[in-house]
Structure 1
């Protein structure tokens, strides 16, 4: 819903993707990062969906997700800004394209110092103004 009747949320969800990823990588990174956001607070997910015949579908996030792109330096800066503002962040590093399960993903991230993470995407959810400042300089994904 858009327009004057659309709800305005106190929080904002933004996914920042690295420039130059292949389409399958953008989709994969976005899906993983949004799953981190979705599990971060119980009020983020709405009720299950039902169609007119009564078939049930899984619930989804209650609010929109903005997908943006940034270069590698801005991804690092955005991660640092999020940390400085106390905004929880989901990260996806280049190494995760080569892993096959959650334990391997966590091991790949934990093996690298924060400053050395090869970020290809991050997701943040927080107060609107804080998230806008975190994503400053990124552009809407086209």
Structure 2
């Protein structure tokens, strides 16, 4: 380890994405990107400082911590969803109907059209205290 670079801090909060195990590869990537996109606006401390390369070229800031991606069954997603809501964890959802919509307004309408317990969840993401998020995703496998 380079002595000039300080050891990374252990974060007290965690970002986790839970994907339904039967998604195609392109769907997994698409859903993950959509799910994590809201955390920076909901909790600004999630975002670090802007980047710059050795030539001074600026780059956008990113999350200050890793995003852990898990997979599970439809039932595991429903259980994690209930756990997150019960514990007050910041949550984003992606439902199957969103694969056929073409814009943000239709995505929100698709979610709004279904009751909480009837959502056909294909992905869900969480941000909150590490120990609580770990309990929310308990039983899910790390994405291969």
**What is the aligned counterpart of 1:16 among 15, 18, 30?**
18
Aligned to 2:80: 78
Shift of 1:43: 1.1
Shift of 1:118: 0.3
Superposition RMSD in Å: 1.4
| TM-score, structure 2 as length reference | 0.93
Q: What pairs with 1:8-87 in structure 2 (closer than 5 Å)?
A: 8-87=10-89
Q: Is 2:88 aligned against 1:89? A: no
Tell me how many residue pairs correspond in the alignment: 140
| Structure 2 residues without counterparts, runs of 5 or longer | none
Q: Distance in 1 between matches of 2:69 and 2:41?
A: 18
Aligned to 1:130: 132
Query: Is the CA contact (8 Å cut-off) linking 1:37 and 1:123 kept in structure 2?
Result: no
Q: Distance in 1 between matches of 2:19 and 2:41?
A: 20
| TM-score, structure 1 as length reference | 0.95
Query: Is the CA contact (8 Å cut-off) linking 1:11 and 1:125 kept in structure 2?
Result: yes
Q: Distance in 2 between matches of 1:95 and 1:36?
A: 19
Q: Distance in 2 between matches of 1:121 and 1:23?
A: 13
Secondary structure, counterpart of 1:39 in structure 2 = helix
| Structure 1 residues without counterparts, runs of 5 or longer | none
Shift of 1:101: 1.3
Shift of 1:16: 0.2
Which consecutive aligned stretches of 4+ in structure 1 deviate over 3 angstroms post-superposition?
none
Q: Distance in 2 between matches of 1:36 and 1:15?
A: 13
Secondary structure, counterpart of 1:17 in structure 2 = strand
